[in-house]
């Protein structure tokens, strides 16, 4: 799974900590998602997308073979 999390955070001028607090996870979790070490649950992906006011597909996408 790929994501545009870092780009969306930059557009929104949010730190990893600010996003983490907004969706109720740790900063380390946000970092792990950005570096593709962790795939978020559907609920967390939806919360992140909602924070940016975008559909989940605008933030997360399946890679070939996923």
Structure tokens belonging to residue 30 = 């946000």
Q: Name 64's bridge partners.
A: none
45 contacts 56 by C-beta, under 8 angstroms:
yes
What pLDDT, on a 0 to 100 scale, did the predictor assign at position 23? 98
Domain ranges of the chain: 2-61
What pLDDT, on a 0 to 100 scale, did the predictor assign at position 65? 84
Q: How far is CA 65 from the centre of its chain?
A: 21
Q: pLDDT tens digits for the chain (66 residues)?
A: 999 999 999 999 999 999 999 999 999 999 999 999 999 999 999 999 999 999 999 999 998 888
**Domain 2-61 CATH assignment equals 1.10.260.40:** yes
User: Which pTM does this prediction carry?
Assistant: 0.93
Structure tokens belonging to residue 7 = 């780009």
């Amino acid at each position: 799974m790929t994501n545009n999390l870092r780009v969306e955070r930059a557009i929104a001028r949010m730190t990893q900590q600010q996003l983490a607090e907004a969706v109720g996870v740790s900063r380390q979790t946000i970092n792990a998602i950005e570096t593709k070490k962790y795939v978020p649950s559907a609920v967390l992906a939806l919360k992140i997308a909602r924070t940016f006011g975008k559909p989940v597909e605008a933030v997360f996408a399946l890679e070939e073979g996923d």
